[in-house]
Amino acid sequence: MPAVSKGDGMRGLAVFISDIRNCKSKEAEIKRINKELANIRSKFKGDKALDGYSKKKYVCKLLFIFLLGHDIDFGHMEAVNLLSSNKYTEKQIGYLFISVLVNSNSELIRLINNAIKNDLSSRNPTFMCLALHCIANVGSREMAEAFASEIPRILVAGDTMDSVKQSAALCLLRLYKTSPDLVLMGEWTSRVVHLLNDQHMGVVTAAISLITCLSQKNPDEFKTCVSLAVSRLSRIVSSASTDLQDYTYYFVPAPWLSCKLLRLLQCYPPPEDGAVKGRLVECLETILNKAQEPPKSKKVQHSNAKNAILFEAISLIIHYDSEPNLLVRACNQLGQFLQHRETNLRYLALESMCTLASSEFSHEAVKTHIETVINALKTERDVSVRQRAADLLYAMCDRSNAKQIVAEMLSYLETADYSIREEMVLKVAILAEKYAVDYSWYVDTILNLIRIAGDYVSEEVWYRVIQIVINRDDVQGYAAKTVFEALQAPACHENMVKVGGYILGEFGNLIAGDPRSRYVPFCLMFTLLFFFSLVPCLLTCSQKLRPQSRRCCAAIARSATQMLNCSSELRVKEFHLQRFWSPFSQATVLEEMPPFPERESSILAKLKKKKGPGAVSVTELEDSKRESGELNGAGERGPDPSVMAASNASTPSPSADLLGIRSAVPVSAPASSGSLLVDVFSEAGPTASSGAVNDDGFLRFVCKNNGVLFENQLLQIGIKSEYRQNLGRMYLFYGNKTSVQFASFTTTVILDNCLQLNVQSKPVEPLVEGGAQIQQVLNIECLTDFSDAPLLNIKFRYGGALQNLTLKLPVTINKFFQPTEMASQDFFQRWKQLSQPQQEAQKIFKANHSMDTEVIKAKLLGLGMALLDNVDPNPENYVCAGVIQTKSQQVGCLLRLEPNAQAQMYRLTLRCSKDSVSKRLCELLAQQF
């Protein structure tokens, strides 16, 4: 007889569900639902008191409507009435409603808590279980406050029914997770641990989750659980398949519990007690032996359950990492699974082997499977499995096989799934650097990387190759030659041009003998037209090559500007050219970059942030830090203070630029780690940001104009901007990171707080295809000085759901600065003129970033003012001057920044001809250093 009889349901509910199912269209369905919601609402509000049955029927209808995706904002009170009823069916449905539609209204929670209290003290096990379920499902702070002391009592009381004990264990676990401060185990600890010995396997099943969690948090207090767990495990493992009756699942004794016991043991080091340890090793051996026995059933459930235990046992062996014998057996077992016909087993074997590869005992054994793994990377149909294979290759890589593995990963990249390309690129870049013996191989690898997957090569990666080339004399000539060759290709990726620009800029002279190299400025000049932001490095580069090329270069720049004069964009470019053409910049631009002080590779830092299997372990990180240090030839230079000082002494703008970007945006990680999914939780998904204004990116753009403003799992917004006088132009790049089209894509600039600006833009295309990027241009005019920033609202539909996002646009008053050079005398004269108290704004604040001279200078230059040398009597201090151009007026500004390296503090003083400007600049800048 079926346990649920189908005939005795509620007819009204069945009719309603049938109605919904018969609806021909979504509209009809919504209409029917709204009708029902109105009906229920009126019934609940009506004068006639509803009986329990009707309430139950309506609450069930609401649950059904909720499941269909409609928000339910009423009915909670009726549900509370139901759960306070004495009738089981009403109570059950009332609790269900509250568990599904959790509501944090405190008045409501108070009523629910009252009902729970009654049920807990009712001594009716069914009611007690319902109440415990409700606490475990809602798990709010108020509930923890009300019941945290009561639940342990129920759990360990001698007369509590087994089913109630089970519920109490998990209820307590939930409260411990939400409010650990309220759950005081103290006196209960030992009795809770002894639940591992309970006769009822269900109680052990529930209790072990609780004990595992508590052990993770308080390993010492709970360490007696180790011997109990071992003996329980040993009893299960050695039992005949029929001993445990109902807990035998497809001929495997208590597989779930065995797995959990093995997990619990992974919270601890190997047992110290010889007898316990011996017993455990015996268990593990038995489990490994059983894997070789012929299966007791052909059903997949049988092998599943058996292998579930086996994989947990292997995890424990790897965790202990102390029994070479077991480790090798584990590795062999996994090796068998690598070629198993079950995809699940291949997946798990690759995953487990990944951890095994880091053990010194088994690293070599893992390496013997390299061909199989490479084959998996090439032939597996399932992207999840291929991803695990890539992780494992990364983990097993060492100097002996690096070339092979990197080559395989590169060739895989050509066809890899979009979702994993960025991570693959990072891995290849790290391996290439870590195991590079000859650096020409490293340079080749990174250039290949850019060629194959240029879009996924992040700033960190291409900055790194430049750093390494600069630090190693022996590879500079090769690098210059290779990038030069690479730039001959008819189409180059933007990142290739950037790397090429920097490297030829520095070391172009090393290939000056090549007759073709006089064309370098020409070909680079053309790319200039496309990648306008690269002007500085292109010009640097051309200057390095030959004096006569320089003239060509200027001529081309001029003719290019004239040619495209119709476009006003180019006027901005022209402006930039002039700026870099000035004798001032020529002088600094021609200096060589100093060696980079060695620091932790930013790429590693980035991958470290990408958690998940296959990410770098801590030891690995340290390893590679050490290795890369010595390999770069900078290891010996890095810590040497004299070199550091030397590099600080010169002020070449290219290096300041690089360092500046790197430290201003700490590895730009928060933004560009978009596929980093962990942080989604903290904000409950991208839609959650709808109401609030996101200004995370805003402050990063005070001292720079280009970069990624915003990034989440769906969307990336990049910015390039240019300002001249009181006008600015901002290019916004909206990139769809998913494979799904965004529909109804609209953007709106909101100037409510910022009427001092005039912003014009054209609407964007309403459809953004998966993987595509669209551009929008904003023309900005500054009418008068301003403090608040304009907002950018973005709306679109992703898979039916409306996304709504509001960002602060990084338009700040300092963007309209014109630098003003002046002599010391003039500076102090003007400083004195601006002596009214309101004209000055001052802040003393703690350094949030490196106090490195170059970094500070780069930021001040980025701010847009002129950085004046030899003005302040104290050479440690920085002074700047500039004029803010608005349509209505010009505001003169002077700045003085006094660092105190010992105290790690700054004093920032601003004097401006308009007091609101002093104040605003001071606010903005105090957060930059």
Q: Rounded CA gap, 686 and 680, in Å?
A: 7
Nearer to another protein, 249 or 507 (CB): 249
The answer to the question of whether 43 is labelled as a binding residue is yes
Nearer to another protein, 387 or 672 (CB): 387
For every residue of 455-490, DSSP letters joined together read GG--HHHHHHHHHHHHH-HHHHHHHHHHHHHHHTSS
**Contact track, another protein, 697-736, x by CB under 8 A:** ----------------xx----------------------
Q: Which of residues 163-192 bind another protein (CB under 8 A)?
A: 163, 166-167, 170-171, 173-174
CB-based burial label for 415 (10 Å; 0-12, 13-18, 19+): exposed
Non-local CB neighbours of 416 within 8 Å, separated by 6+ positions: 386, 424, 453
Three-state DSSP class for residue 902: coil
User: What's 846's DSSP letter?
Assistant: E
**Contact track, another protein, 646-685, x by CB under 8 A:** -----------------------------xxxx-xx--xx
Give the type of residue at 666. P
Give the type of residue at 354. C
In three-state form (DSSP H/G/I as H, E/B as E, the rest C), the secondary structure along 589-638 is: HCCCCCCCCCCCCHHHHHHHHCCCCCCCCHHHHHHHHHHHHHHCCCCCCC
Site residue total, another protein (CB under 8 A): 97
Nearer to another protein, 312 or 460 (CB): 312
C-beta separation of 607 from 426 below 8 A: yes
486 contacts another protein (rule: CB under 8 A) = no
428 beta partners: none
Taking CB under 8 A as the binding criterion, the range among 94-102, 320-328, 766-774, 877-885 that sits at the site for another protein is 94-102
Nearer to another protein, 93 or 413 (CB): 93
Cβ of residue 797: shortest distance to another protein, in angstroms? Answer: 12
The answer to the question of whether 680 is labelled as a binding residue is no
CA 313 vs. chain centroid, Å, equals 31
Strand (E) or helix (H) holding 736: strand 727-736
Instruction: Count other Cβ atoms within 10 Å, centred on residue 594.
Output: 22
Nearer to another protein, 174 or 464 (CB): 174
Q: Which of residues 289-328 bind another protein (CB under 8 A)?
A: 301, 304-305, 307-308, 311-312
Q: Which of residues 208-237 bind another protein (CB under 8 A)?
A: 209, 212
**Contact track, another protein, 836-855, x by CB under 8 A:** --------------------
Length of the chain: 929
The answer to the question of whether 58 is labelled as a binding residue is yes
Closest CA to 865 of 925, 811, 918, 821: 821
Cβ of residue 488: shortest distance to another protein, in angstroms? Answer: 40
User: What's 414's DSSP letter?
Assistant: T
Q: Which phi and psi (to 5°) does residue 742 adopt?
A: -90, 130
Q: Which of 23, 102, 108, 643 binds another protein (CB under 8 A)?
A: 102
Give the type of residue at 760. Q
Cβ of residue 307: shortest distance to another protein, in angstroms? Answer: 6
Taking CB under 8 A as the binding criterion, the range among 14-22, 281-289, 494-502, 504-512 that sits at the site for another protein is 14-22
Q: Rounded CA gap, 121 and 139, in Å?
A: 19
Q: Which of 38, 77, 88, 157 binds another protein (CB under 8 A)?
A: 88
Q: Which of residues 612-641 bind another protein (CB under 8 A)?
A: 612-613
37 contacts another protein (rule: CB under 8 A) = no
Directed axis angle between helix 201-217 and helix 225-237, to 10°? Answer: 140
**Contact track, another protein, 341-360, x by CB under 8 A:** --xx-xxx------------
Taking CB under 8 A as the binding criterion, the range among 56-64, 366-374, 505-513, 631-639 that sits at the site for another protein is 56-64
Q: Rounded CA gap, 793 and 807, in Å?
A: 6
The answer to the question of whether 718 is labelled as a binding residue is no
66 contacts another protein (rule: CB under 8 A) = yes
273 contacts another protein (rule: CB under 8 A) = no
C-beta separation of 900 from 891 below 8 A: no
Cβ of residue 268: shortest distance to another protein, in angstroms? Answer: 15
53 contacts another protein (rule: CB under 8 A) = yes
Locus of tokens 């060759």: 485
Nearer to another protein, 305 or 446 (CB): 305
Q: Which of residues 772-801 bind another protein (CB under 8 A)?
A: 799-801
Cβ of residue 249: shortest distance to another protein, in angstroms? Answer: 6
Q: Which of residues 488-527 bind another protein (CB under 8 A)?
A: none
Q: Are strands 715-724 and 707-711 parallel, antiparallel or unpaired?
A: antiparallel
Q: Which of 83, 115, 183, 257 binds another protein (CB under 8 A)?
A: 257
CB-based burial label for 707 (10 Å; 0-12, 13-18, 19+): buried
The answer to the question of whether 919 is labelled as a binding residue is no
Q: Which phi and psi (to 5°) does residue 668 adopt?
A: 45, 25
Taking CB under 8 A as the binding criterion, the range among 394-402, 433-441, 608-616, 836-844 that sits at the site for another protein is 608-616
Sequence ranges of the binding site:
11-12, 43, 53, 57-61
